[in-house]
Each structure stands twice: as C-alpha cells, then as structure tokens.
Amino acid sequence: MVQWFPGHMAKALKKIKEKKTLIDLFIVVLDARAPISSYNSEFDLIAPNKPRLFVVSKLDLADEKKINKIKNNFNNKNDSIIFCNLINNKNRKKIFLEIKKLLKIKRKKELKLGLLKPRFKAMVIGVPNSGKSTLINLLSKSYSTKTGNTPGITKGQQWINLNEIKLLDTPGILWPKFENQLIGIKLLIIGSIKHEIIPLQEFFNNAYKLLSKYYPNKLKEIKLFPTEKEEEIYSNLIKLCNDKKFIIKNNQLDLNKGMNWFKNHLKNMKGVTYD
C-alpha cells in the first residue's frame, strides 16, 4: 500500500470544498498516459451537479487508440471531455469553446437577471504534474503560474483573471493512500508522486510488469524481453546494465543506475496509456 498525503494536499482539498459554492465550472486536468488512474474520485463528491470539463493533457505522449475507452469512462450528461497537448497554442480556442458550451445555461440565467457581462468562476483541479498550471498559462497567454516536470510545484490557491472568466488554480491533490499498488506505480511514472515514496527496486519490478502487460514491444525496442516473473525481470536488468555498460568498481554492474535509466526512459516514452 502506497501512502502519500502531505499536509498541503489535505488543506487544499478542504479549501476546494469550502469554495465549491462560488464555482460555476470545474476544469479537471488529466494525464493522457494514465487518465483513469490520475482521476481523484474525491472530486465526484465535491459538487456533483455542476458542469465539469475534463482536459486530457499530454496527448503527444499517449496511445491514441485508447481515446474511446477514456471517453466512455467520463461520459456524464453535465460534463465534456477534450484531448489535447497544452503546449500547442492552437488548443486555446478549442478549450474556450468547450467552456462556453458548458456555461451556456448559466449565461442565459445571468442575462435574464440583467447581467450583460457576467463574470464566471472556474476551478482547475487535478493530481500533481497533470498540467494544471500549463493549462492556465495557455488560457491566460502568460506565464502567471509556475510549471515543472515534478509534483508539488503549486502549493496554494491563486486566482487568474481572464476576460469573462476567473480561474482558480489549486495544488495537485492525491488520495490519502493507494490500495492498488499499480496506481501508485502509474502515478510515479507520469510524475504525480515523488520517486522517494516507492523503493527503486519495487518500482522497477512493478513498472517492468506493467510495460510487459500493456506494451511488450516497447521493451523489445530496447532489447529486453517482456515478462512478469521477477527472476526473469532481474535477468533483464542484468542485460540492460551490460548493454549500457553501467559498471562500478571491480567490474560490478551498477544495478541502481540501470533501474534509474529505466525509470527516466519510461518518463519520456511516447505512445503509452496504462489504463
């Protein structure tokens, strides 16, 4: 069981619940490499009747053959889902169009009340490193929020003013613990939890099994063999270290270097969706 719920996350979840009555729309950012595993089901309980826009980010890294499966998993009448690469400026217009569609009913109500230029509030939520800050920077055409390829960049809530919408950026939020060990492995691969949480050997073994199950050809591309047996995984680690010449004193293989190489290789791999 993986446990990871630092104090700032618990505090952030409490603040989100406190502000839910102010929010017209929730924008949920998901990582396309693990969109189902990177969705925190706690969000379902916060404001179930308010519209949600699911933005599946990092599409350039994902397995596009699984798009329909992902769509079906987030197919609720009040919600909408789009797939995009948030570093591509062309997606800005696409996202705003979806936001306007979801706020259409609310906009009509505001116009009836005589508010010709209503200001709507949207909250951006998701697990760490899913792309929330990148989304906000795209929509605001600025670098108003910090981004990075490690979890925990955003520590507190902050409002960003757009023309008709105020966006509330929030820290990435995880579950208190993962009952399913593989969810923790997937979240570590995509950078949503820190590597120190799971011992390197444990990560390597489980990640190797995950890749063997979903994308065996990705292992063959680096001259390794798909397997879910731990003794065979160890043999492949030996082969990897020999192939890469990861050697320390007295011609001993540097197994830690091999496992770290594999971890970084997974982090940058394209064409994969582990759900």
Contacts of 153 (CB under 8 A, 6+ apart): 128, 129, 133, 146, 147
Comparing 84 with 162, which gets the higher pLDDT?
84
- Beta strand segments in 41-189, E: 52-57, 79-83, 120-125, 158-161, 165-169, 177-178
How far CA 100 is from CA of 96, 125, 165, 258, in Å, comes to: 6, 18, 10, 49
Q: What is the pLDDT of residue 117?
A: 62
Comparing 137 with 171, which gets the higher pLDDT?
137
3-state DSSP assignment of residue 233:
helix
Q: How many CB atoms sit inside 10 A of residue 171's CB?
A: 23
Model confidence at 221: pLDDT above 80: yes
- Band of residue 150 on the pLDDT scale cut at 50, 70, 90: very low
Model confidence at 196: pLDDT above 70: yes
Average pLDDT over the chain, rounded to an integer: 83
Comparing 233 with 4, which gets the higher pLDDT?
233
Q: What is the pLDDT of residue 112?
A: 62
**What is the share, in percent, of the chain residues with pLDDT greater than 90?**
39
d(CA 152, CA 7): 12
How far CA 261 is from CA of 30, 211, 224, 265, 268, in Å, comes to: 26, 15, 14, 6, 11
* pTM for this model (two decimals): 0.83
Model confidence at 184: pLDDT above 50: yes
Q: What is the pLDDT of residue 148?
A: 44
d(CA 6, CA 126): 16
Model confidence at 106: pLDDT above 80: no
d(CA 228, CA 205): 8
Model confidence at 15: pLDDT above 80: no
Find the range with the poorest average confidence among 13-17, 191-195, 224-228.
Answer: 13-17
Q: What is the pLDDT of residues 18-47, one digit of tens each?
A: 777 888 889 999 999 999 988 877 778 787
Sketch out the chain's domains with CATH numbers. 2-169 (3.40.50.300), 199-267 (no CATH)
Query: Cα 213–217–223 angle (5° rounding)?
Result: 115
Find the range with the poorest average confidence among 5-14, 17-26, 73-82, 201-210.
Answer: 5-14
Q: What is the pLDDT of residues 55-81, one digit of tens each?
A: 999 999 999 999 998 988 887 777 899
Q: What is the pLDDT of residue 166?
A: 86
The first and second tokens of residue 24, run together, are 């017209």
- Residue 52: what are its φ and ψ, rounded to 5°? -130, 140
The first and second tokens of residue 91, run together, are 């997606």
Model confidence at 161: pLDDT above 90: no
